[in-house]
Amino acid sequence: MIMRVTIHQPEHMPWPGFFHKMINADLFIILDTVQYRKNYFQNRNRIVGEVGDPIWLTVPTKNISFEELISEKLIDKTSNHWPRKYLNLIKSCYTGTQFFKDYSDELFQIVSNDFDKLADLNIALIMFFRKHLGIGCEIMLSSTITHYGSKSDLNLALCKAVGANEYLSGASGRDYLDLTSFSISGIKVLFNDYNPPNYLSPNYHPYLSTLDLLFRHGPNAVNIIKTGGKEF
């Protein structure tokens, strides 16, 4: 029996490629036990601004240590614009979209839930998208799995711990995965070469948060996500 696992850090408001991996896996491991990466996609993502250009939607965070794990990163709740400015930015950019009213109340409630940790907010948002995209694969946190190592060894250890026989990697995995080690362990490695789908929008841009797609296309968003995939 095939047990396909994919692994990804808990990005903020992830892009469609994140959920394409989830759609094509039996188990999605949220990797919350690696170092936080500043100025990446862990506390921010891109949406379309009022004038039609991509802008950053950002969660303010506290800078305590360069060695903080994603699971340890704190939201800076002392910032006088969190979450008011964040939510107002979403409203100003998407109030006029077809499906804004279908999802905005639930989304805003999640953001307003007074999370202390960034990972908890991100995971709640990931589960929000997962639900509305109708994705049914199992979800686990790496922090609940005994594992070791870094990079390729880390991914292999997680796959072995959960009994995987297939590992679905992002395209960048070609740069660091030790395919021989996976093969020796009886785990087939597949690569998800994902191209952002071009969907109907007055201001389409690739590599935006899935939020843009969901507000514009609602229940059909999952079908659009699937069109960006290639054969593994």
Supply the pLDDT for residue 229. 77
- Alpha-carbon separation of residue 82 from 20, 44, 92, 128, 193 (angstroms): 30, 13, 16, 20, 36
| Pick from 147, 207, 204, 146: nearest CA to 11 | 207
Supply the pLDDT for residue 231. 66
Q: Strands 4-8 and 166-170, how do they pair?
A: parallel
Residue 77 CA to residue 96 CA, distance in Å, equals 29
Enclosing H/E stretch for 154: helix 151-161
How many helices (H) and strands (E) are present in the chain, helices listed first? 8, 7
Residue 129 falls inside a structural domain: yes
Give 165-191 pLDDT, tens digit per residue: 999 999 999 999 999 999 999 999 999
Residue 133 CA to residue 218 CA, distance in Å, equals 9
Identify the segments of the chain with pLDDT beneath 50: none
Supply the pLDDT for residue 176. 94
Residue 56, helix vs strand vs coil: strand
Residue 76 falls inside a structural domain: yes
Supply the pLDDT for residue 141. 97
What is the extent of the structural domain holding 187? 4-227
- Alpha-carbon separation of residue 83 from 49, 76, 79, 87 (angstroms): 18, 10, 9, 6
Residue 194 CA to residue 86 CA, distance in Å, equals 29
Residue 221, helix vs strand vs coil: helix
Residue 149 falls inside a structural domain: yes
Supply the pLDDT for residue 86. 97
Supply the pLDDT for residue 232. 74
Residue 133 falls inside a structural domain: yes
Tokens encoding 32: 């919350």
Q: How many domains are there within the chain?
A: 1
Supply the pLDDT for residue 62. 95
**Nearby residues of 15 by Cβ (< 8 Å), 6 or more positions away:** 41, 45, 196, 207, 208, 209, 210
Residue 232 falls inside a structural domain: no
Residue 126 CA to residue 122 CA, distance in Å, equals 6
